[in-house]
Structure 1
Amino acid sequence: MSARGVSARLALVAGVVAAAPGERVLEVGCGAGVLVTALAAAVGDGRVVAVDRSARMVEAAARRNRAAVEEGRVRLVAAALVDAELGHESFDAVVAVDVRAFWTPPAPEWDVVARVLAPGGRVVLGASVMRAGDADRVRAETARAAGERGFAVTAAAQVGTVPFPTATIELRRPGDG
């Protein structure tokens, strides 16, 4: 972990997301809110909505991001993505790290992403690579599940983070840029 508490893996994913000031970002599986902090700093006066199925993790994320929550720049939701109340919000980016649901059939999370992702938006997934072939398998399964909902892989990489390498996958709707 760095001095700011962001692991090399989360810093890598934040860099791939490349959130810009004013953007709206949805993080799925936010855990204790470490990536939420980095995303909120990047979007400035934009907005981060973070979802996690664990109320305990959402409480930890709320403590970590108290100021941004109080300012209304971060909203935390304790629910599985498919059950989360997102209203009519749309997002410029959706990000998830080690959320197996995105590459494990039937992957209904992609239906939610297809509904809330703004035109031109991007999806960035990060996955820990624990065994040889994991990155290729995750990329293929993600491409299949996302492809059924109109998304295509636009970039993929693997970086030697510690303790495990991290695979990143970026997806967009074809024609969205």
Structure 2
Amino acid sequence: MGAVAASARQSWAADVVAPQPGERVLEVGCGHGVLAALLAERAGEVLAVDRSPTMVAAAGRRNRAAVEAGRVRLQAAALADADLGSGPFDVVVGFDVRALWDPAQEMTWDVVDRVLAPDGRVIVAFSVMTPGTEDDVVAAVSRLAGARGLVAAGVHRRAVGEGIGSAAVELRRPAAAATPPSG
């Protein structure tokens, strides 16, 4: 597949996720499918879910070749209603998906916990539009994930000087969090 036209923020997020060949990746809230395309260039399989059929249609157009090759699957559904298959995911990622830090959407984390491989990781990336909000989002994500046995293994930052600032919290189960990722 050729290079994907992506913003610096989406490219940064793909680098933070850094999926390995053969890994199964679940993207929550895929939007137009830009991140799914970037992840599909590296991972074994990407399942991209968005509650908006319009967004999933756009993601399908963007990822047509990867869908035809079986590297990307797309679903228009709320995460709780999506057919996520039977196998676990090595990585679950969401970029600017409020349900991952909104306590009112706690059931999202129940699904993530259920489908995440024992040594898998979760990457919750988000735009930092207002100074000071980053710590609040990281704390909310850590609380919600922590209730399911996941701990923050690190926070990645993309400086505002590079456009809109971004941050990502990486979460793992405690045994996996103690072992730093290779690479």
- Superposition TM-score, scaled by structure 1 size: 0.93
Q: Is the 2:4–2:37 contact (alpha carbons within 8 Å) kept by the matching residues of 1?
A: no
Q: CA RMSD in A?
A: 1.2
1:175 equivalenced with 2:175 (yes/no): yes
1:101-151: CA deviation from partner (whole Å, max 9, x where unpaired): 111113211111111111210001111111121100000000001111111
Question: 1:163: Cα distance to partner?
Answer: 3.6
Aligned partner letter, 2:60: A
1:32 equivalenced with 2:32 (yes/no): yes
Aligned partner letter, 1:21: P
| Unaligned stretches of 5+ residues in structure 1 | none
Q: Which residue of 2 aligns with 1:109?
A: 108
1:35-63: CA deviation from partner (whole Å, max 9, x where unpaired): 111111012xx110000000011001111
Q: Is the 1:135–1:158 contact (alpha carbons within 8 Å) kept by the matching residues of 2?
A: no
Question: 1:6: Cα distance to partner?
Answer: 1.2
C-alpha distance in 1, partners of 2:24/2:85? 14
Residues 1-177 of structure 1 correspond to what in structure 2 (within 5 A)? 4-43=4-43, 46-106=44-104, 107-161=106-160, 162-176=162-176, 177=179
- SS across alignment from 2:67: helix
- Superposition TM-score, scaled by structure 2 size: 0.90
| Unaligned stretches of 5+ residues in structure 2 | none
